[in-house]
């Protein structure tokens, strides 16, 4: 593992390469359960913005938390204690920009939930394309117990992931669910032993990175925006995304490699 050129160092994150085209982003405040303070919000916004705008060559990202017990406990409530309304609102506006940048990231992000994911930490995981989780993980949106509500997409992403009724149970009670229930409800793609979640996510990220990067981006875009459309419009959107790939070098390389019985070499062109 090595630091990524042009990214960091960050006060609250570790950003490392796993191979040439996969990045591992680690929430790195284990002494406070990787809670999201203002600095972490800014650091994450900087990472997602860089990965969206820069010519970095990366094809997939894994997001995890430092330590073996907690992915992320949510916002840093000690930092928020005594905050003025103005400062709170300014901080949340930063968090909103960070969450939107994650959602709009053109390359896939896989959450490796190595431990408990609560409140804003759970929302971060929900903002990723899919997730693997430790069998010891627990998930909760606890905001309702604190006099607030989810504000990083939780009330929207969770119902889309598991359905309205199950989402309402989690949102309105603030009670956690365990990893087995998260898997049964379709929230998590796969459960792993606690020490294996990151490696499983990296393995899948590398498999994604082997595929044509323009195809991966167009698929992500079609799923992301198509679900907001009626079905007929979404079909047309899918075809438009498909048509953008016909003239690419990678499409020609993929067909040639298939016929020549070799592994394709995709260049993202």
pTM: predicted TM-score of the whole model, two decimal places: 0.93
Q: Beta-carbon neighbour count of residue 78 at 10 Å?
A: 10
- Rounded to an integer, the average pLDDT of 216-223 is 95
- Rounded to an integer, the average pLDDT of 56-61 is 92
Which pLDDT belongs to residue 54?
A: 79
| Residue 74, phi then psi, degrees to nearest 5 | 100, -160
**Res. 5 pLDDT band, cuts 50 70 90:** low
**Res. 3 pLDDT band, cuts 50 70 90:** low
Which pLDDT belongs to residue 4?
A: 63
In whole angstroms, what is the distance from residue 229 CA to residue 98 CA? 25
Is 128 a residue whose pLDDT tops 90?
A: yes
Residue 32 neighbours by CB under 8 Å, 6+ apart: 73, 76, 78
Indicate the burial class of 211 (C-beta count within 10 angstroms; 0-12, 13-18, 19 or more).
middle
**Res. 57 pLDDT band, cuts 50 70 90:** confident
Which pLDDT belongs to residue 2?
A: 56
* pLDDT tens figures, 140-198: 999 999 999 999 999 999 999 999 999 999 999 999 999 999 999 999 999 999 889 99
All domains of the chain in start order, with CATH: 2-210 (3.90.226.10), 213-260 (1.10.12.10)
Looking at the annotation, which residues are catalytic?
123, 143
**Res. 8 pLDDT band, cuts 50 70 90:** confident
């Amino acid at each position: 593992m090595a630091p990524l050129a042009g990214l960091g160092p960050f006060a609250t994150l570790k950003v490392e390469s796993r191979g040439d085209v996969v990045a591992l982003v680690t929430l790195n405040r284990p002494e406070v359960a990787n809670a999201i303070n203002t600095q972490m919000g800014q650091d994450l916004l900087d990472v997602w913005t860089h990965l969206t705008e820069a010519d970095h060559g990366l094809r997939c990202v894994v997001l995890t938390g430092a330590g073996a017990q907690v992915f992320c406990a949510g916002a840093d409530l000690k930092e928020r204690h005594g905050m003025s309304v103005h400062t709170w609102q300014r901080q949340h506006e930063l968090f909103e920009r960070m969450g939107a940048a994650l959602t709009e990231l053109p390359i896939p992000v896989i959450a490796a939930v190595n431990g408990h994911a609560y409140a804003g930490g759970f929302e971060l995981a929900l903002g990723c394309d899919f997730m693997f989780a430790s069998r010891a993980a627990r998930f909760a949106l606890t905001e309702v117990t604190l006099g607030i509500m989810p504000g990083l997409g939780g009330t929207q992403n969770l119902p889309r992931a598991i359905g309205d009724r199950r989402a309402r149970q989690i949102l309105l009670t603030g009670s956690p669910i365990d990893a087995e229930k998260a898997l049964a409800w379709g929230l998590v793609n796969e459960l792993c032993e606690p020490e294996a979640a990151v490696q499983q996510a990296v393995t899948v990220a590398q498999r994604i990175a082997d595929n044509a990067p323009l195809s991966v981006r167009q698929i992500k875009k079609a799923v992301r925006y198509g679900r907001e459309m009626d079905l007929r419009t979404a079909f047309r959107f899918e075809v438009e995304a498909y048509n953008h790939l016909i003239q690419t070098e990678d499409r020609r390389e993929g067909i040639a490699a298939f016929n020549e019985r070799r592994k394709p070499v995709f260049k993202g062109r």
